[in-house]
Amino acid sequence: MAKIIGSVMTSHVPAIGGAMAKKRQDEPYWKPFFDGFVPVRRWLAEAKPDVAVVFYNDHGLNFFLDKMPTFSVGAAPEYRNADEGWGIPTLPPYAGDQDLSWHVIESLIENEFDVTTCQEMLVDHAFTLPLELLWPGRKCPVRTVPICINTVQFPLPSAARCLKLGQAVGRAIETWEQDARVLILGTGGLSHQLDGERAGFINKSFDLEFMDRLAAEPEWATRYSILDLVELTGTQGVELVMWLAARGALLGKVNEAHRNYHVPISNTASGLMLFENRA
Ligand code: DHB
Ligand code: FE
């Protein structure tokens, strides 16, 4: 049977791609951010996942405002990246795992999550950059299953619904008959707002409380509506629902193995957490 070994939650700011391409990791601006990933990579080298299930939000590369599924799951043999206009290098395709994709899709629909299935799917910076941070130099060794949650076009799914989606995905993975080691990723957040009068808004005290409570008490954040979360964390800070989905997928005993928090990276409070999942 498949085993969920843990999860990594991280921000996904496009400028990270430029910093990696220009080898700026050791510059004072970037070092506190990139250094956060060293213990995660050490853990991954030991934990050796076979597959990564990635909760993230597409920002207009695959889905645009005209057609916006609330929840969607990739079921493609591979996932291509493309130019989003950020001026960052386009990355080579990522391998899919169609067997796991269809198993998750069937299980979700049976459990009343009526997801959109995507047999073709472009993956944007929110998918590619976290994988590049975990396995730099285009060396991603895992097969992937992308799961998109809409945080771009209102109305958005509630934090409670995203946590439940993650739990349903976790139950699906645990009933997959393959002997695979599965890593869960959740990418987005933490607090940031890119547009309007509050552009540049960051809420450090909320972010830290969210991180403090995520392992033992993920339900804490579900007390807030999406509009509350926009107010508390910024219009793009709502991406933190990906962290809730990823946390939800860990159904065992959860241990926080590492965290980092650094303000700002571009306009974003960048957060990173690593959770181990024990049976
Ligand atoms: C930034 C953050 C994001 O989450 C994103 O998707 C795009 C840009 C930023 O802070 O620049
Ligand atoms: Fe984003």
pLDDT tens string 108-154: 999 999 999 999 999 999 999 999 999 999 999 999 999 999 999 99
- In contact, 12 and 126? CB cutoff 8 Å: yes
CA dihedral 168, 78, 131, 211 (to 10 degrees): -20
State which ligand 1 atom lies nearest to the alpha carbon of 125. Answer: 6
Q: How many residues does the chain have?
A: 279
CA distance 250 to 203: 27
What DSSP element (H or E) covers 161? helix 159-174
Q: How confident is the model at residue 87 (pLDDT cuts 50, 70, 90)?
A: very high
Ligand 1: residue whose CA is nearest its atom 7: 13
What DSSP element (H or E) covers 274? strand 268-278
* Structure tokens belonging to residue 40: 């995660």
Mean pLDDT on 262-271: 98
pLDDT of residue 238: 98
pLDDT of residue 10: 98
State which ligand 1 atom lies nearest to the alpha carbon of 264. Answer: 10
pLDDT of residue 279: 85
Q: How confident is the model at residue 208 (pLDDT cuts 50, 70, 90)?
A: very high
Mean pLDDT on 99-106: 99
CA distance 237 to 264: 13
- In contact, 45 and 277? CB cutoff 8 Å: no
Ligand 1: residue whose CA is nearest its atom 6: 13
Ligand 1: residue whose CA is nearest its atom 8: 13
Percentage of the chain beyond pLDDT 90 is 100
CA 106 / ligand 1 centre spacing (Å) = 32
CA distance 62 to 82: 9
CB within 8 Å of 124: residues ≥ 6 apart: 58, 59, 60, 61, 62, 81, 84
CA 97 / ligand 1 centre spacing (Å) = 28
- In contact, 279 and 252? CB cutoff 8 Å: yes
* Structure tokens belonging to residue 279: 């049976």
Beta-strand relationship, 71-74 and 116-118:
parallel
Pocket of ligand 1 (CB under 6 A): 12-15, 59, 192, 194, 236, 239, 266-268
* Structure tokens belonging to residue 148: 């998109």
pLDDT per position as a tens digit, 214-247:
999 999 999 999 999 999 999 999 999 999 999 9
Residue that the structure tokens 């957490």 belong to: 273
3-state secondary structure of 117: strand
State which ligand 1 atom lies nearest to the alpha carbon of 192. Answer: 10
Q: How confident is the model at residue 156 (pLDDT cuts 50, 70, 90)?
A: very high
CB-neighbour burial class of residue 177 (10 A; exposed 0-12, middle 13-18, buried 19+): exposed
Mean pLDDT on 185-200: 98
pLDDT of residue 13: 98
Mean pLDDT on 56-70: 97
pLDDT of residue 140: 96
- In contact, 185 and 127? CB cutoff 8 Å: no
Mean pLDDT on 242-260: 98
Ligand 1: residue whose CA is nearest its atom 5: 13
| Domain 3-278 listed as CATH 1.10.15.40 | no
Beta-strand relationship, 94-95 and 78-79:
antiparallel
Question: Ligand 1 pocket test: which of 194, 241, 242 has the largest number of ligand atoms within 8 Å of its C-beta?
Answer: 194
Question: Ligand 1 pocket test: which of 12, 268, 270, 272 has the largest number of ligand atoms within 8 Å of its C-beta?
Answer: 268
pTM: 0.98
